């Protein structure tokens, strides 16, 4: 008896435009927002919490959190309250429902329609890739990037590195963009912390006193968490 080997297709494009461009050729989106939505989701879910992504922090977010019997994260990065600061989520209690507004990672997560979505970062790179390979064939890795004040996307090297880390554990036919992401990760992996601390986003966070957030985001493969978006809420598909 002969078994047909799966033919994996790995593609990579930036942000919302990438999601729109790849929707017709994708079975799974992996959203990569290293600093810090994906990292925050990984840490919260590893503690047994659930994360409900929300596009922005305004009055509608307050109403949304109340409707879902959830805690609303702070609008700005804050170490003393649950927020997009990964360090603020290190001790979040199990079963906490947290509404986490984010103009990048959350917005992208909610923009994928009916296509399955997982949140990937450096912390869960191998776990995310392993889950993707077991369950899907056409896998699209989406580096989130940052947003300028006018709403346009700013290139974020940390997200390209994170995408490349995940791709390094995937197999199949890589698009040229996926090969570039992989090459960037390969060039940075032996000096990962310094590379990300010295990129624009890393420097900005360190200057604001969030060095620990950057260090948490740089930890590679320390988590087996696979955050799967279902009914607009992230939960750990592996349950551990």
Are β-strands 153-154 and 146-147 bridged in parallel, bridged antiparallel, or unpaired? antiparallel
CB neighbour list of residue 135: distance below 8 Å, 6 or more residues apart: 28
pLDDT at position 57 is 83
CA distance 35 to 228: 19
Residue 207 in tokens: 């200057």
Q: Which of 223, 214, 236, 212 is nearest to 157 (CA)?
A: 214
Domain residue ranges of the chain, discontinuous segments joined by +: 9-39+104-231
Query: What are the C-alpha distances in Å from 238 to residues 21, 45, 46, 227?
Result: 30, 10, 10, 8
pLDDT band at residue 155, thresholds of 50, 70 and 90? confident
User: In the chain, what percentage of residues exceed pLDDT 70?
Assistant: 96
Q: What are the residue ranges of helices labelled H in the chain?
A: 15-22, 37-46, 59-67, 105-109, 125-135, 157-167, 176-188, 192-197, 200-207, 211-218
Q: pLDDT by residue (tens digit) across 157-184?
A: 999 999 999 999 999 999 999 999 999 9
| Residues 100, 51 contacting (CB under 8 angstroms) | yes
pLDDT band at residue 194, thresholds of 50, 70 and 90? very high
Q: Average pLDDT for residues 142-171, to the nearest whole number?
A: 90
Distance of CA 132 to the CA centre of its chain: 14
H or E element, residue 191: none
Q: pLDDT by residue (tens digit) across 77-91?
A: 999 999 999 999 999
pLDDT band at residue 153, thresholds of 50, 70 and 90? confident
- For 42-66, give one letter per residue: b (16+ CB within 10 A) or e: bbbbbbebbbbbbbebeeebeebbe
pLDDT band at residue 5, thresholds of 50, 70 and 90? low
H or E element, residue 71: strand 71-72
The pTM of the full predicted model, rounded to 2 decimals, is 0.95
Q: pLDDT by residue (tens digit) across 34-72?
A: 999 999 999 999 999 999 999 988 899 999 999 999 999
Q: Which fold has domain 9-39+104-231?
A: putative 2-phosphosulfolactate phosphatase (3.90.1560)
């Amino acid at each position: 008896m002969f078994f047909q080997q799966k033919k994996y297709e790995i593609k990579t494009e930036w942000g919302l435009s990438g999601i729109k461009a790849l929707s017709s050729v994708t079975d799974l989106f992996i959203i990569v927002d290293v600093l810090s939505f994906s990292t925050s989701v990984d840490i919260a879910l590893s503690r047994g919490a659930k994360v409900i992504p929300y596009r922005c922090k305004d009055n509608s977010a307050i109403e949304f959190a109340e409707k879902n019997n959830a805690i609303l994260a702070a609008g700005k990065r804050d170490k003393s309250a649950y927020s997009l600061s990964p360090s603020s989520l290190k001790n979040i209690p199990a079963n906490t429902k947290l509404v986490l507004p984010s103009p990048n990672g959350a917005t992208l997560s909610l923009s994928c329609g009916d296509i399955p979505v997982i949140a990937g970062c450096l912390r869960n790179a191998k776990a995310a890739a392993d889950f993707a390979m077991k369950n899907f064939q056409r896998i699209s890795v989406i580096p989130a990037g940052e947003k300028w004040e006018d709403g346009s996307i700013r290139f974020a090297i940390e997200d390209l590195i994170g995408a490349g880390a995940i791709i390094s554990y995937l197999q199949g036919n890589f698009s040229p963009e996926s090969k570039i992401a992989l090459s960037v990760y390969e060039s940075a992996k032996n000096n990962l912390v310094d590379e990300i601390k010295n990129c624009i986003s890393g420097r900005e966070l360190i200057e604001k006193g969030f060095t620990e957030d950057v260090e948490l985001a740089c930890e590679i493969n320390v988590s087996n968490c696979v955050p799967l978006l279902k009914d607009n809420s992230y939960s750990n598909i592996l349950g551990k």
